[in-house]
């Protein structure tokens, strides 16, 4: 295996064909032509304005704003691809410096954003979704907002090793990337397709989730592809084989039990669907549903199977276990895995605590009193 460029002191190698110029410099260079045009337009406008022609407002406006409008169109039309390229160079995929910055932003911004859930009563998704023109259909929104995570990670795995001269990533990097993709193939694609129904999701919630996924996919993906341990020696220091295997075992227990508890929630609606169909069938004289459709939208019951006997958000708890296993396998010093786990807990804990209040209001204190929200013995 070649010595990866990421091990060099400069920390990152420029993209082949890249200019090596900093981002601001590249944007400035790209936009030089349009900027001159804007400056010329400005001078012309000033010249016209100085002569103080007695212009009618409409005409005055056209003369004054016209050049700006033309310059704007030129700016957009002439060089969009090079502006895009300048903006994306060094970010997609990121250089080591930009990756470190992305990680810092992810570590700080999303926990803070998640804390806003505590004072806010609004959350435009699931049990608390409300009618809004800005709602997206649940399944579509879910796929669109969850899929960017594993797509970003795959993009990092495809591009970064090549750029850093890494011919062959260690097996640990491939296993962890594979587990991430397995999780998100279920979460982003299979999960929304097999849910009996999903409440609409507000576009703001969906956009926040897209941001989360892109940042997380970038942080973990780039770490696995180039900026984390990329040699057998580096892995020996990062996480022993025993710790790695134990972490993967925990990951699988978490994944399987997360699926099990998701399945229990699905079964509540499937059972309700069968019940409604049976009633319709009986009314129609045994004629399977009598041609009428049933709806299980927003049908909720208190789940009872597995850990749901003790905690209302057992599926969340299992998901945390899953990503704790991932962190353990990746090594306790893996900052992106820490950021992911911390952000998940910060995002889901307030939902679970508020969810418990929702269950109490809906089903009464008696049925919920003995259940924890998400962490048995704690909350
Ligand atoms: N929310 C997050 O921030 C987040 C982050 C990472 C991972 N996840 C994972 O994604 C999965 C879904 O999360 P979520 O926040 O959407 O969970 P959720 O609010 O519990 O909803 C999960 C699904 O089950 C339905 N459902 C919920 N409670 C029900 C009940 N008592 N009876 C019948 N059906 C019920 C919901 O329908 P409605 O849509 O109609 O409410 C939804 O389709 C979980 O496994 C979670 O671990 C969530």
pLDDT one-digit tens code per residue, 236-265: 999 999 999 999 999 999 999 999 999 999
pLDDT per position as a tens digit, 285-334:
766 555 678 899 999 999 999 999 999 999 999 999 999 999 999 999 99
State the Cα angle at 308 between 305 and 312, rounded to 5°: 150
- The protein residue with its alpha carbon nearest to ligand 1, atom 26, reads 265
Q: CB within 6 Å of ligand 1 — which residues?
A: 126-127, 138, 195, 197-199, 258, 262, 265, 268-269, 298, 300-301, 303, 315-316, 319, 344, 347-348, 351
Report how far residue 298's alpha carbon sits from residue 318's, in angstroms, rounded to the nearest whole number: 24
C-alpha of residue 315 to centroid of ligand 1, in Å: 8
Asked whether the predicted pLDDT for residue 221 surpasses 80, the reply is yes
Residue 100 pLDDT: 97
Given a cut of 80, whether residue 153 has pLDDT beyond it is: yes
64 pLDDT above the threshold of 80: no
Question: Do 187 and 253 form a contact (C-beta atoms < 8 A)?
Answer: no
Residue 347 CA, closest ligand 1 atom number:
3
Q: What pTM does this model have? A: 0.80
pLDDT at position 71, please? 66
pLDDT value of position 281: 86
Which of ligand 1's atoms lies nearest the C-alpha of 302? 31
Instruction: Provide the angle, in degrees to the nearest 10, between the axes of the packed helices 203-222 and 335-363.
Output: 150
At residue 89, the pLDDT reads 83
Dist. CA 152 → ligand 1 center (Å): 24
Minimal CA–CA distance to 316: which of 273, 362, 353, 275? 353
CA-based radius of gyration for the chain: 27
Are 150 and 109 within 8 A, CB to CB? no
Taking alpha carbons only, the member of 29, 24, 23, 35 closest to residue 75 is 35
Q: From 147, 316, 320, 371, give the residue whose CB has the most ligand 1 atoms within 8 Å, as the site to mutate.
A: 316
Contact indicator for 23, 89 with CB cutoff of 8 Å: yes
In sequence order, what DSSP letters do the residues of 286-353 get, joined into one string?
Answer: SSGGGG-----TT------SGGGGTBTTHHHHHHHHHHHHHHHHH-TT-HHHHHHHHHHHHHHHHHHH
Higher pLDDT, 156 or 115: 156
Residue 203 and residue 209: Cα distance in Å, rounded? 10
DSSP secondary-structure letter at 202? E
CA of 126 to the centre of ligand 1 (A): 7
The minimum-distance atom of ligand 1 relative to the CA of 299 is: 33
What's the pLDDT band for 355 if we cut at 50, 70, 90? very high
Name the band, by pLDDT with cuts 50, 70 and 90, for residue 31.
low
Closest residue by Cα to atom 32, ligand 1, is 300
Cα dihedral: 151, 157, 160, 163 (round 10):
-120
User: Which segments within the chain are labelled E, that is strand?
Assistant: 135-136, 201-202
Closest atom of ligand 1 to 191 CA is 11
Q: How many CA atoms lie within 13 A of 147 on its CB side?
A: 9
Question: What separation in Å is there between the alpha carbon of 262 and the centre of ligand 1?
Answer: 7
**Between these two residues, 293 and 4, which has the higher pLDDT value?**
293
How far is Cα 28 from Cα 22, in angstroms, rounded to an integer?
10
């Amino acid at each position: 295996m070649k010595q990866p460029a990421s091990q060099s002191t400069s920390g990152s190698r420029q993209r082949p064909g890249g200019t090596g110029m900093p981002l601001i410099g590249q944007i400035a260079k790209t936009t030089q032509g349009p900027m001159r045009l804007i400056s010329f337009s400005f001078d012309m406008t000033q010249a016209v304005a100085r002569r103080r022609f007695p212009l009618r407002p409409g005409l005055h406006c056209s003369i004054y704003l016209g050049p700006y409008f033309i310059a704007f169109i030129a700016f957009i039309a002439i060089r969009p691809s090079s502006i895009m390229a300048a903006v994306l160079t060094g970010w997609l995929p990121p250089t080591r410096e930009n990756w470190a910055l992305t990680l810092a932003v992810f570590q700080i911004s999303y926990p803070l954003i998640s804390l806003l859930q505590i004072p806010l009563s609004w959350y435009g998704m699931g049990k608390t979704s409300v009618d809004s023109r800005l709602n997206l259909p649940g399944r579509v929104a879910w796929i669109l907002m969850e899929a960017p995570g594993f797509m970003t990670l795959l993009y990092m795995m495809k591009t970064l090793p090549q750029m850093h001269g890494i011919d062959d990533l260690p097996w640990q990097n491939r296993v962890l990337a594979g587990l991430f993709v397995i999780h998100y193939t279920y979460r982003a694609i299979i999960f929304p397709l097999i849910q009996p129904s999903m409440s609409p999701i507000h576009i703001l919630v969906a956009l926040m989730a897209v941001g989360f996924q892109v940042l997380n996919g970038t942080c973990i993906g780039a770490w696995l592809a180039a900026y984390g341990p990329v040699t057998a020696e580096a892995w020996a220091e990062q996480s022993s084989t025993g710790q790695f295997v134990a972490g993967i075992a925990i990951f699988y227990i978490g994944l399987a039990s997360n699926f099990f508890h998701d399945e229990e929630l699905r079964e509540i609606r499937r059972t309700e669907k069968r019940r409604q169909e049976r009633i319709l069938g009986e009314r129609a004289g045994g004629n399977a549903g009598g041609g009428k459709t049933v709806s299980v939208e927003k049908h909720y019951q208190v789940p009872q199977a597995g850990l749901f006997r003790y905690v209302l958000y057992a599926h969340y708890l299992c998901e945390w276990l899953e990503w704790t296993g991932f962190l353990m396998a990746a090594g306790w010093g893996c900052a992106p895995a820490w950021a992911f786990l911390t952000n998940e807990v910060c995002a889901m804990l307030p939902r679970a605590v508020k969810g418990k209040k929702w269950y109490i209001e809906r089903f009464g204190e008696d049925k919920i009193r003995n259940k924890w929200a998400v962490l048995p013995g704690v909350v």
